[in-house]
Amino acid sequence: MTRGPRRSVQPDAVLDAALELIDEGALTMRALAARVGLTPGALYTYFPDRAAIVTAIADRLLAEADLSLLDDPAEPPHRRIENYALALREVLLAHPAAVPAILGAAFNGPMALRVGESLLRVLPDARATYTVMVYVLGAIALEAADRVTGSTPSFELDPAEFPLTSGQIDVILAYNSAEQFQWGLGRVLSGLS
Query: Cβ distance 59 to 110 under 8 Å?
Result: yes
* Binding mask of the shown chain, residues 3 to 22, with x at each position contacting DNA by CB under 7 A: ---xxxx-------------
Among residues 17, 27, 88, 136, which is the contact residue for DNA, using CB under 7 A? 27
CA separation for the pair 149, 189 (Å, rounded): 30
Query: Cβ distance 36 to 14 under 8 Å?
Result: yes
Task: Provide the CB-side half-sphere exposure for 120 (13 A, CA).
Answer: 9
105 lies in the binding site for a second copy (CB under 8 A): yes
Binding at 29: pick from a second copy, DNA, none (beta carbon under 5-8 Å per type): DNA
Contacts (Cβ under 8 Å, ≥6 apart) of 14? 32, 36, 43, 46, 47, 53
Among residues 40, 76, 124, 159, which is the contact residue for a second copy, using CB under 8 A? 124
From the list 29-37, 71-79, 93-101, 111-119, the region that binds DNA by CB under 7 A is: 29-37
Among residues 12, 23, 24, 28, which is the contact residue for DNA, using CB under 7 A? 28
Residues 165-184 that bind DNA (CB under 7 A): none
CA separation for the pair 76, 78 (Å, rounded): 6
Among residues 49, 121, 159, 178, which is the contact residue for a second copy, using CB under 8 A? 121
